[in-house]
């Protein structure tokens, strides 16, 4: 009886050949997590390697990794069946089971567009000083590329509505969508997916987004400021308020701070209050970052995360513009788009 039970346990069997892996390399099978952890390892001989294990209840994302290497050799979804890995390091093909086949489609259908978007952004950064006309032209090219990416991603979800790849993709996209967009995308998933924990969580997030979307009343709050007092949002009624959500531990946020400083200088005489709202839990880390970055505009800290929750903040940096009437005007604008919107609202031109 016991032997029969063990024999019926579903297993995965990974067979791989990646010729350019150095002979004798230890290749680790690592769950992505969180938390990431190694669950198996093999020594590569003549480019060949093999793993066997009990298949998880749900397809589970893992990588084939070498200690000390930042990039993984490849990625694989652990599930029942025969899984074949081939190709070269950092450019592998993984086929054989349902989810791994779906992931290969994603890698060919959508992933190349991400590389194109990254390249366009790099070109714009390297040539930023070529003038406004060039920047506007490049930004239009980037916007068109982003529209193509969005369409390809949604097409993938429509085509594979039961796939964990589609679910993972939508979880990633959700932080860049408004409430209506997210609800529409969730509806593309199969009925069998609708009660999954991840989808229920996204539905709740969509509801939060709709409660603080453009045109709704901005949730009021009172937070401690960096000078020892407090600031209440409703006290700024009659002014435009630019709320910049950031944190000392967020590299992208800190890279964006010089741009916020430039806006603060440009609009210092306008009917605008710029408010830095940190998500730091550590007062010391927050104040140290303020000093290092020279943040001379109004700064407050959301130590317990209640304001971030009220504004459905899932990724930072994030900007929100609140109008003089206390209603939200825009959400998520950055760089040129943010400055253009402020120029429009404050009736100023680029100087």
Q: Which residue has the tokens 């019926």?
A: 8
Where residue 321 falls (left for φ over 0; alpha for ψ -120 to 50; beta otherwise) is beta
Q: State pLDDT tens for residues 150-169.
A: 999 999 999 999 999 999 99
What proportion of the chain, given as a percentage, has pLDDT over 70?
A: 97
Q: State pLDDT tens for residues 32-45.
A: 988 889 999 999 99
Across all residues in the chain, what is the average pLDDT? 92
**DSSP structure string for 71-121:** S-SEEEEE-SEEEEEEEETTEEEEESSHHHHHHHHHHHHTHHHHHHHHHHH
| Superfamily of domain covering 2-92 | Immunoglobulins (2.60.40.10)
- Strand extents, DSSP E, the chain: 11-18, 26-31, 37-43, 48-54, 60-65, 74-78, 81-88, 91-95, 222-225, 230-232, 240-246, 272-278, 298-301, 318-322, 328-331
So what's the pLDDT on residue 181?
93
CA–CA gap between residue 217 and residue 207 (Å, rounded): 15
Residue 202 CB neighbour total at 10 angstroms: 22
Looking at residue 217, what DSSP letter applies?
A: B
Q: Which of 49-58, 93-102, 121-130 has the lowest mean pLDDT?
A: 121-130
Q: What six digits make up the tokens of 223?
A: 């937070």
Q: State pLDDT tens for residues 243-264.
A: 999 999 999 999 999 999 999 9
Q: State pLDDT tens for residues 307-337.
A: 999 999 988 999 999 999 999 999 999 888 8
State yes or no: pLDDT of 349 exceeds 70.
no
Q: What six digits make up the tokens of 32?
A: 């992505």
State yes or no: pLDDT of 203 exceeds 90.
yes
- pLDDT (average), residues 1-27: 81
3-class DSSP state of 160: coil
Residues 173, 61, 316, 322: is their CA dihedral positive or negative?
positive
Is CATH 3.40.190.10 the right assignment for the domain spanning 222-346? Answer: no
Residues 184, 189, 195, 199: is their CA dihedral positive or negative?
negative
User: pTM, whole model, 2 decimals?
Assistant: 0.76
Looking at residue 341, what DSSP letter applies?
A: H
Q: For residue 347, which phi and psi values (nearest 5 degrees)?
A: 55, 45
- pLDDT (average), residues 102-108: 95
**CATH 3.40.30.10 spans which residues of the chain?**
222-346
**CATH 2.60.40.10 spans which residues of the chain?**
2-92
7 pLDDT tier (thresholds 50, 70, 90): low
State yes or no: pLDDT of 233 exceeds 70.
yes
CA–CA gap between residue 182 and residue 184 (Å, rounded): 5
State yes or no: pLDDT of 4 exceeds 60.
no
């Amino acid at each position: 009886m016991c032997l029969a039970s063990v024999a019926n346990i579903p297993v995965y069997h990974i067979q791989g050949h990646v010729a350019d892996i150095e002979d004798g390399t230890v290749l680790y099978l690592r769950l992505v997590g969180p938390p990431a952890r190694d669950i198996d390892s093999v020594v590569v001989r003549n480019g060949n390697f093999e793993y066997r294990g009990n298949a998880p209840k749900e397809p589970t994302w893992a990588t084939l990794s070498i200690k000390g290497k930042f990039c993984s050799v490849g990625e694989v979804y652990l599930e029942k069946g025969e899984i074949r890995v081939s190709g070269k390091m950092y450019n592998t093909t993984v086929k054989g089971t349902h989810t791994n086949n779906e992931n290969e489609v994603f890698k060919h259908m959508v992933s190349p567009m991400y590389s194109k978007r990254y390249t366009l952004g790099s070109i714009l950064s390297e040539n930023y000083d070529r003038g406004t006309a060039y920047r506007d032209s490049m930004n239009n090219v980037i916007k068109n590329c982003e529209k193509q990416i969005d369409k390809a991603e949604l097409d993938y979800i429509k085509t594979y509505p039961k796939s964990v790849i589609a679910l993972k993709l939508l979880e990633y996209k959700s932080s860049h969508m408004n409430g209506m967009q997210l609800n529409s995308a969730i509806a593309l998933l199969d009925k069998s997916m609708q009660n999954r924990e991840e989808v229920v969580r996204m539905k709740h997030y969509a509801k939060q987004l709709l409660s603080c979307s453009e045109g709704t009343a901005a949730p009021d709050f009172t937070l401690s400021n960096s000078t020892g007092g407090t600031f209440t949002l409703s006290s700024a009624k009659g002014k435009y308020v630019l709320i910049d959500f950031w944190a000392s531990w967020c590299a992208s946020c800190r890279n964006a701070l010089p741009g916020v400083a430039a806006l603060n200088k440009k609009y210092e005489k306008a009917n605008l209050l710029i408010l830095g709202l940190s998500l730091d839990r550590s007062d010391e880390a927050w104040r140290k970052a303020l000093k290092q970055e020279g943040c001379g505009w109004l700064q407050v800290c959301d130590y317990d995360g209640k304001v971030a929750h009220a504004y459905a903040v899932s990724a930072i940096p994030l900007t929100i513009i609140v109008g003089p009437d206390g209603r939200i005007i825009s959400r998520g604008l950055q760089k040129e788009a943010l400055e253009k919107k402020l120029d429009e609202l404050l009736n100023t031109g680029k100087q």
